[in-house]
Structure 1
């Protein structure tokens, strides 16, 4: 009896778990599109692009020094987990006047992990506000061009989020001041969009081999 129980634990349970999660990907394999055709950030800063990237997009504002905690939360809970995925990037939009503060932040991020996929775009106040408004969310930037919320933008420059969030209904962004929200909601949604692209890639490869 004991031997049978051990065999069940070792072989049957992993199979059941796999089938459960596999069905979850099939049933929840699409993260809703909330805004289509977000303009490319390269219109503001040619050194970066949203095209062909799964992007976590944020707006740190003028006081980058004061918002480092947000970046560190994001780095620990999201970036470290997903940075090895191809075409994944973090992109923070910052006023041109804050370049020195960004360099300091970049150095500190590099001490925590390899921050090569942390990118920063610099623009004028008007450019940043105009770009943010094109996301067409229910959120706003403050007077310093800052919001604690970050956004998931897919490779085709579509803003992804939730249409049936249990707390907000339509959920455009994720609050980086809340570790619980990053853990319990954003991590799940990033997993979904990455799984979506992986499944599409497998399908394309399978079609080519026929």
Structure 2
């Protein structure tokens, strides 16, 4: 009897534990889709597109100086970790007229890391509002057409987020003013969506 117990502990339990955790990855390894078919920034006469990219999408607004802190938080906590992934990008929507301010911001961000995957798209305020409305979130743009929240947009132009966040319930975006939120929530969710696409690529390769 003692031998059987030892065999169960040594061989059966590890297998059961593996199957348990493996099923957990399969069940919880996808970031929920909150909104489908959002408007692509390519519609704004831009060469930038959400299609076939994993995008961190934000609304910088006309008062760029005020958003520098949030931009640096994102640069350090999210961009630096993930920018080397092939299909990863940042997209910031900015009102026309703020080009010089953005140029200055890019120079400062570029002193810390290669920012070739930071994309700034300029548009008039009505176009910015239309793109924002297509996200269908519970967050509002301020009078400068900005928000501290940034969003995860997948390759199929769907907004990804959380449906059962412990603080907000449905979580559409991440507050870039909060280093804690970037560290404790956004970083995890970006890892999940990148892993999701890596697994899909491996599966497609194996099926060929």
TM-score between the two structures when normalised by the length of structure 1: 0.88
Aligned length, in residue pairs: 192
Hey, what does 1:98 align to over in structure 2? 98
2:189 is equivalent to residue 171 of structure 1:
no
Consecutive unaligned residues in structure 2, runs of 5 or more: 1-13
Hey, what does 1:196 align to over in structure 2? 196
1:47: how far off? Answer: 2.1
TM-score between the two structures when normalised by the length of structure 2: 0.89
Deviations 1:65-112, CA, capped at 9 Å, x for gaps: 121110000011000011111110000000011010110111111101
Counterparts in 2 of 1:21 and 1:163: CA distance versus 1, 3 Å: same
Hey, what does 2:144 align to over in structure 1? 144
The CA distance in 2 between the partners of 1:69 and 1:112, in whole Å, is: 14
Counterparts in 2 of 1:100 and 1:198: CA distance versus 1, 3 Å: same
Consecutive unaligned residues in structure 1, runs of 5 or more: 1-14
1:1-210 matched pairs, under 5 angstroms: 24-208=24-208
* Higher Cα Rg, which structure: 2
Misfit runs of 4+, over 6 Å: none
C-alpha RMSD of matched pairs (Å): 1.6
The CA distance in 2 between the partners of 1:91 and 1:181, in whole Å, is: 20
Q: Is the 8 A contact 1:25 1:192 kept in 2?
A: no
SS of the counterpart of 1:55?
Answer: strand
Q: Is the 8 A contact 1:109 1:115 kept in 2?
A: yes
The CA distance in 1 between the partners of 2:21 and 2:87, in whole Å, is: 24
Q: Is the 8 A contact 1:36 1:158 kept in 2?
A: yes
Q: Is the 8 A contact 1:32 1:163 kept in 2?
A: yes
SS of the counterpart of 1:34?
Answer: strand
The CA distance in 1 between the partners of 2:22 and 2:54, in whole Å, is: 22
